[in-house]
């Protein structure tokens, strides 16, 4: 019977600063819409309910503005007001949007059997993820039936800068985009930034030399993982596939020596299936 480790602490999505992200001179940018979407983005997979004050702090908006936004989103079904707590949770309209997106993500169907094969071989969890601001979001998962795995499911968020999946994404994107993301990560935690930057730079070098990146105890001290970036095509942004789990069952030597070539081959096969390789 499968046993899971204690749930990993979910990554808190970095609050988007709407004006900074958009640029004050962009006349086509609808600030009110961006603020409403930033409110929805505050709800990470590990936090089911948030109050107006919580949202205001994360979005860096006045509480009065947030109150109007949450009222509007509630009227439209994107949020639900929980009277007992005075807080909000995501509504069914938000669920419908997410479900529609996942249903049209063909890469998930193609990746699933390949990911399951690798999960069974490595006795770990293999996941497909996509970026949202300073997080990576799981959009696909495969677990070994005999594995001790992390309690991360579809919709879970992990940080982009310290995880193997996030670093794989950073390794594939253009340098200018990567520098912008790294600057936003630096602004979140100036004290931790030197170590975070060193980890990212080491991962970029690792990717150039081996085609794979790693994170051994850098996100959570008891978690080891490797990852490879993926080009899904079809106008979709880069993604990444990782293989990871508890450090006491997945050693650095096993991941790099035996799992890495299989993970690289998995991505090669998947991109070929998507028509992105000859």
Q: What is the pLDDT of residue 231?
A: 92
pLDDT in tens, 122-164: 999 999 999 988 999 999 999 988 656 667 888 888 999 999 9
What is the chain's mean pLDDT, rounded?
86
In this structure, what CATH number is given to the domain that contains residue 266? 3.30.450.40
Give ∠ CA 108-238-34 in degrees, rounded to 5: 100
Residue 267 makes CB contacts below 8 A (sequence gap 6+) with 228, 229, 230, 241
Same-domain status, 47 and 115: no
Domain assignment present for 97: no
pLDDT in tens, 188-221: 999 999 999 999 999 999 999 999 999 999 999 9
| Number of structural domains in the chain | 2
Same-domain status, 84 and 119: no
Show which of 39, 66, 92 is a domain's final residue.
Answer: 92
In this structure, what CATH number is given to the domain that contains residue 25? 1.10.10.10
Same-domain status, 202 and 257: yes
Strands 148-149 and 3-4: parallel
Give, for all 278 residues of the chain, the pLDDT tens digit: 444 444 454 444 454 544 444 445 677 888 889 898 888 888 865 567 899 999 999 888 999 999 999 999 999 988 999 988 999 988 878 766 765 565 556 788 889 999 999 999 999 999 999 998 899 999 999 998 865 666 788 888 899 999 999 999 999 999 999 999 999 999 999 999 999 999 999 999 999 999 999 999 999 999 999 999 999 887 888 999 999 999 999 999 999 999 999 999 999 999 998 876 54
Domain span at residue 53 reads 3-92
Same-domain status, 124 and 77: no
pTM of the model: 0.75
Domain assignment present for 180: yes
Answer yes or no: are the C-beta atoms of 241 and 126 closer than 8 Å: yes
Same-domain status, 88 and 111: no
Domain assignment present for 278: no
Separation of alpha carbons 212 and 125, rounded Å = 17
Domain assignment present for 98: no
């Amino acid at each position: 019977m499968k046993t899971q480790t204690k749930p990993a602490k979910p990554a808190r999505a970095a609050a988007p600063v709407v004006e900074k992200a958009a640029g004050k001179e962009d006349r086509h940018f609808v600030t009110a819409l961006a603020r409403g979407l930033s409110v929805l983005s505050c709800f990470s997979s590990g936090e089911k309910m948030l109050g107006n004050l919580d949202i205001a702090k994360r979005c860096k908006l006045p509480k009065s503005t947030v109150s109007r936004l949450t009222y509007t989103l509630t009227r439209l079904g994107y949020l639900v007001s929980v009277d007992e707590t005075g807080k909000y949770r995501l509504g069914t309209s938000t669920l419908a949007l997410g479900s529609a997106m996942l249903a049209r993500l063909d890469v998930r169907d193609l990746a699933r059997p390949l990911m399951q094969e690798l999960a069974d071989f490595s006795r770990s969890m293999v996941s497909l993820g996509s970026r949202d601001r300073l997080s990576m979001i799981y959009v696909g998962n495969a677990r070994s039936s005999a594995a001790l795995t992390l309690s991360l499911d579809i919709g879970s968020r992990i940080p982009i800068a310290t995880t193997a999946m996030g670093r794989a994404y950073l390794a594939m994107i253009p340098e200018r985009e990567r520098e912008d993301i790294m600057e936003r990560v630096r602004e979140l935690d100036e004290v931790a930034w030197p170590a975070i930057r060193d980890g990212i730079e080491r991962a970029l070098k690792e990717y150039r030399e081996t085609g794979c990146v790693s994170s051994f105890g850098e996100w959570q001290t008891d978690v080891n993982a490797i990852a490879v970036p993926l080009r899904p095509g079809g106008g979709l942004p880069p993604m990444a596939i990782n293989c990871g789990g508890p450090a006491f069952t997945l050693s650095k030597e096993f991941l790099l020596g035996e799992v890495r070539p299989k993970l690289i081959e998995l991505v090669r096969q998947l991109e070929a299936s998507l028509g992105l390789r000859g």
